[in-house]
Amino acid sequence: MTMEISKLSVLTIVLVPFLLLAAVAVVAGDELTTFIVHAQPQGNHALATDDDRNTWYRSFLPEDGRLVHAYHHVASGFAARLTRQELDAMSSMPGFVAAVPDQVNELHTTHTPQFLGLDARKAKRSYPVSERGAGVIIGMLDTGIFPNHPSFSDDGMPPPPAKWKGRCDFNGRSTCNNKLIGARSFISSPNATTSNSTSNDWRRVPPVDDVGHGTHTASTAAGAAVPGAQALGQGMGTAVGIAPRAHVAMYKVCTEKGCADSDMLAGVDAAVGDGCDIISMSIGGGSKPFYQDSIAIGTFGAIEKGVFVTMSAGNTGPMVSSVANEAPWMFTVAASTMDRAIRSTVRLGNGLSFHGESVYQPDVSASTFYPVVHASASGKPFAELCGNGSLDGLDVRGKIVLCVMGSGPGGNITMILKGAVVQSAGGAGMILLTKFPQGYDTLAEAHVLPASQVDYAATTAIESYINSTASPTAQILFQGTILGTSPAPSIAFFSSRGPSLQNPGILKPDITGPGVNVLAAWPFQVGPPSAAVLPGPTFNVISGTSMSAPHLSGVAALIKSKRPHWSPAEIKSAIMTTADVSDRAGNPILNEQRLPADLFATGAGHVNPDKAADPGLVYDIAPGDYIGYLCGLYDSKNVSVMARRPVDCSAVTVIPESMLNYPSISVAFQQAWNRSTPVVVERTVKNVGEARSVYYAAVDVFDDDVIVRVYPETLVFTQVNQEQSFKVVVWPRQNSAPLVQGALRWVSDTFKLTLLPILLLATVVAAVTGDDELQTFIVHVRPHKGHEFDTTDDRTTWYKTFLPEGERLVHSYHHVASGFAARLTERELSTLSGMPGFVAASPNHVYKLLTTHTPQFLGLELPQSGRNYTSGFGDGVIIGVLDSGVYPFHPSFSGDGMPPPPAKWKGRCDFSGAACNNKLIGARSFESDPSPIDHDGHGTHTSSTAAGAVVPGAQVLGQGAGTASGIAPRAHVAMYKVCGDECTSADILAGIDAAVGDGCDIISMSLGGPTLPFYRDSMAIGTFGAVEKGVFVSMSAGNDGPTGGTVSNEAPWMLTVAAGTMDRLIAAQVRLGNGATFDGESVYQPNTSTAVSYPLVYAGASSTPDANFCGNGSLEGFDVKGKIVLCDRGNDVPRLDKGAEVKRAGGFGMILANQFADGYSTIADAHVLPASHVSYAAGVDIKKYINSTANPVAQIIFKGTVLGTSPAPAITSFSSRGPSVQNPGILKPDITGPGVSVLAAWPFQVGPPSAPALPGPTFNFESGTSMSAPHLSGIAALIKSRYPDWSPAAIKSAIMTTADPDDKSGKPIVNEQYAPANLFATGAGQVNPDKALDPGLVYDIDPAEYIGFLCGLYTSQEVSVIARRSIDCSTITVIPDRLLNYPSITVTLPSTTNPTAPVVVSRTVKNVGEVPAVYYPHVDLPAAVQAKVTPDSLQFTGASQVQNFTVSVWRGQSTDAKVVEGSLRWVSDKHTVRSPISISFA
């Protein structure tokens, strides 16, 4: 078995977060649980002996038998089994400091000594074979040891040093000797990893290794020489540890289930007390503050007493910030490959061959091919992983089975198990396929059948082959052990990466050592039972950072033996500063993708034991320096826990991370850093080389983004152990790269050393955000049953009980969410999650801000027309707009003639002075700027679009002239400013909460963000609460079109609005020198001569990359003076910025050409120079013309505002498309409204400064689904004003079922390519306000039905977050998405449907039209689908009467289409009620 990647794929063990005493409330009150208790004697209470200390420890405990471990050397305290109540009582006793619950951590060579150069002649001089590790004791903390293995023979070994105080706890005859000098166990029962028991009878198990891991690591570090070592005949040679003359002491602290904190701390404590020189631990857990990390606490005590500590970096790579064992006093080891492969080659039936690896290599025929089958063909969930039972029902007998790497949801599908499953199903062999993160790495396993693990490139080719033929075949050929492979070393895919979460200012990992396919001692035979048992002891080949760490323990023992007085920090420095940064071929060390590995993967580089023996200079750290470093991270109490004595940090000189005398440099620049101020780092080196020597500084930072200087540049030494200090000064440049790395080398005549890896973080990236950084979280909480709050102040007071002291509360939610937003650290959030009432928490997401003519285009006329069908144009309705604020002094928000707001209004106006009135009745801010004033313009535009007052003489730079009016000019407006520089989910949720509490009827949000499950989507949660309280919600669909699956705001209780064009063009025509003309658009239309043509040039002709997009500075050095420049749309360069760049470069004008995706969609912008935005087709023709003549010319002719253009409406390119990612069973978007070149109020003048300022208020043309959504908010207000008792669902139904599927000319609505737009673009169609006011029938949805819908998607806990109350989905009738009473129908047809087995959809309609009335169904679907509606008519005899019907759907004629669409129309004498139908084929 492979402990690391098979067993250690189980790294998904849930590690209970370390909590201090306040958090132990999560432990059941009467359950005995192991706690580690830190205690310190008070005053002059001296404890002379260990027995005295044990007696004092027991004085804390309620009875005998509770003490698990007493700590004497590296921690001040004990482990004991206690109930929570007992711990609570103990916490008040004198001497108590802190307590943490016990945690479980996971266990994270014939060739390696040669690979590391230890057989070279020079290395034999540095470390004579007879002295390698002599006199050094390595304490191994692991799973125990198999003492009878010859790797632990003491032939020729001297007795242990006199300081040794340990013991040997094997039962029966003595099995320890002068090699294995001690063995102890700290495992008290087979279930010790949980440390819970109701019995006081705990017995130690012997330190024998029943897993194999400890035997392997111990022999790797210091095993004796064993000739004839092999695993199943592979890796043949003489096995020897790195320090074969060192003594070994085993401390068993782990079982196959894991390693408990209390046992590990006891093991470290014993190893230090026994006299070990080096502690080696191939163990790791989750990242946590050092004062909560028992391993960090124990190893700090070890270092203080001069013991070197080696730790594995972890096996959760290649993810960033996954490194474990991060404390700077630990030596953290990454894992690399060697130049050895145990090769098994896959040969396919098409002749292609791919090298893989396997330790088990039976004799096979080179001429026989076997059928190949992919395990996923069984159809079972996760079948491709080949777990137990996954191949049942799949014929694999006599076949080679393709299985995929991965341990499965339970983390228990090891690589060996995969082969066993294939073998038990009758398979002839297995090819183990890898995933992309594993790259080119392969692992050699002792499989139980012929097998080969291949890399990702081979995986892709093999899967392509089996999909290309009906009868794929393959064979597996074995080629034995191959030496000299390359690249070597390279970083293993599983090796955990930095930066460190706990201390990003210290580079971790520190070093790299061999960790892939390492052969070492093993307690038992490996491979299949049928494998021939070869003579000699048993060995195994396994992989992991568990294997790399003991290599470095052995190297440390070599140095300690040679330099017995060196401190742990000096040994670490010697190893790090002499490490190799290149592989054996002299190339940079690569990662698993065969790309250069960064310092977060390699640390200082790959260990070079020979150079480490004579480093020249070392960086030493006194243990007291670590106290100063810790005081820079934590408070005095927490540092005292680590130091095992009281520490007053106010009396300690704090040492920042970058100033700790570490043999690497890491500097992080905050984003607000003053770039003119350098960072200064100081270091001190000690001369351990030649007495008289001179070193010169050489800086290798090959990046212009930073400047690095060293002062002084020369260090002169005249004696051994002399110390010299120097400074490294770093200047970051403006807009420097996010990560820069390099090295500082101090070079003398004798030593040419890469001494200091340098890591410069130009900005602090998310990956290095520590647990102590304050972030805003939205926290959902629920009071206990019966706990009610009389006022919002009472609820806010309760919210504050969850929070630490200080101003942490950002928002309190009362109406649409049960909870609050607060600034917390990750650690504080973890503590809060254990408190009664906590439900869930989510990070604060950032969202994006996404008309004189539109009322007429929509068929609405202004109030003075005298038409009365709009019944007051929104009278009495309050629209709450969540946006960037509002400019209250614009006449669009005049209160002239407006009645006071309804009596229900509870809002307020936060402008200073009297800026609000009967139109703008409220304005509040929820972002950092307390004023709701609009500094952007977006909020002013959207709110005036929805409900702006009538303003004659509106225009933008003279275009679009007319009378401006909102869709519902008599509605009231309340602005909730939730956007400043960004729009965060915490502020948005607060705005929704306030809008509902204030009494708004409609909420309008032109915002969008990432698609998220609804229980994690604050806008979905908040708007669900709003809809439950009768508030209609209109949302923009997003501006990420025309790609499918991009629609935002997907919840079915929202109205999701797409964007279409209008029949208006702000025309700017392009005329070329060849006479061709092309219609485009621009708002800025200066007086230009129609007789003058200008030279025409394509920006893409510049040599500057991406110059065709006309980004800032892209036209530098390109002659455009006096010319018209053709620029391409896109590349994240705003359209107005493109014109600004052309103007800056001296251009006369600009033609802005679409890319293919934007098709014929053009936009009228207030450009800063003469310009025209043309279609993709026009752009292609213009480029052809430029390329056809040596002197291309053009002119731009402005034609003003043109009405009656066609096609209109058409779906614009940017409008986001369905299907919905979160709920594909609900058609999204719902509806289309005007969203292109919409004229509405604006706070300031637009266009170039030279443009004449026309009299009157300022307006602007804007485009986006941000513009279409407020149109629908206004229409909803019209309907709400006429039908005040209608629910949000009824209003939505009225809008959707009366929408127009055709454009103004009666043709199908087209998309940006002028092809018919599908339902994923249009939704139900273009809104028709006139028809929506009299829909005939409506589809209503009670809010409780959404709960049934949600229970079909999520768990009870997740639904409870959305519902703001406890939901038990097992007691609720689940409503599948197709059965939700939605005004559109979405169905997925399985292949088995037919007239006798259709998919049935049910709906209920309510009569809101004339009485009596009869409606008849008309189904419009293509021949690929058949449908039947039952009953065949609906008869209504009363108002608000409801009727039910079903639609049965099945497959019709064969089709290649994946989706077809149509509609269901219920038709009466006066009404047509149309529901779009979208049908996909499974």
Active site (catalytic) residues: 142, 213, 546, 883, 938, 1266
- In whole angstroms, how far apart are CA 855 and each of 851, 858, 1037, 1258, 1277? 7, 5, 21, 19, 14
Q: 1071 — phi, psi (to 5°)?
A: -120, 125
The set of residues, in sequence order, having a beta carbon less than 8 Å from that of 1473 and lying 6+ positions away, is 1297, 1298, 1335, 1336, 1337, 1405, 1415, 1465, 1466, 1467
Q: Which helix (H) or strand (E) holds 1028?
A: helix 1018-1028
Residue 52, token pair as written in the block: 């005295």
- Tokens representing residue 1164 in the block: 């009228």
Both tokens of 341, joined, read 């492969």
- C-alpha to C-alpha distance for 1042 and 337, rounded to whole angstroms: 46
Residue 753's DSSP bridge partners are 746
- Distance, in Å, from the CA atom of 324 to the CA atom of 285, rounded to the nearest integer, reads 7
**Distance, CA of 87 to CA of 322 (rounded, Å):** 33
Strands of the sheet containing 972-977, edge to edge, are 920-925, 972-977, 878-883, 1002-1005, 1032-1036, 1055-1060, 1231-1234
Asked whether the CA dihedral 1406, 1408, 1414, 1417 is positive or negative, the reply is: negative
- 689-724 in b/e burial notation, b at 16+ Cβ within 10 A? bbeebebebbbebebebbebebeeeebebeeeeeeb
Q: What are the counts of helices (DSSP H) followed by strands (DSSP E) for the chain?
A: 29, 69
Containing 1447, the helix (H) or strand (E) segment is: strand 1442-1451
CB 849 within 8 A of CB 1025: no
Residue pair 418/382 in contact by the 8 Å Cβ criterion: no
Residue 104 identity: V
Between CA 279 and CA 139 the distance in angstroms is: 5
Q: Are the C-beta atoms of 1158 and 1080 separated by less than 8 Å?
A: no
d(C-alpha 110, C-alpha 93), whole Å: 55
Residue labelled with tokens 């025209």? 1172
Q: What residue type is assigned to position 494 of the chain?
A: F
Nearest to residue 1213, comparing CAs of 1181, 1235, 1182? 1235
87: its two tokens: 């711990």
The residue type at 1209: P
Interatomic CA distance for residues 1200 and 1087, integer angstroms = 11
Q: Give the whole-angstrom CA distance, residue 301 versus residue 313.
A: 20
Asked if the bond preceding 930 is cis, omega within 30° of 0, the reply is no
* Sign of the four-CA dihedral 94, 95, 98, 103: negative
183 contacts 204 by C-beta, under 8 angstroms? no
The answer to whether the beta carbons of residues 705 and 676 sit under 8 Å apart is no
Length of the chain: 1482
C-alpha–C-alpha distance, residues 882 and 924, integer Å? 10
Report which residue type is found at 1460: V
> Which of helix, strand or coil describes residue 1189?
coil
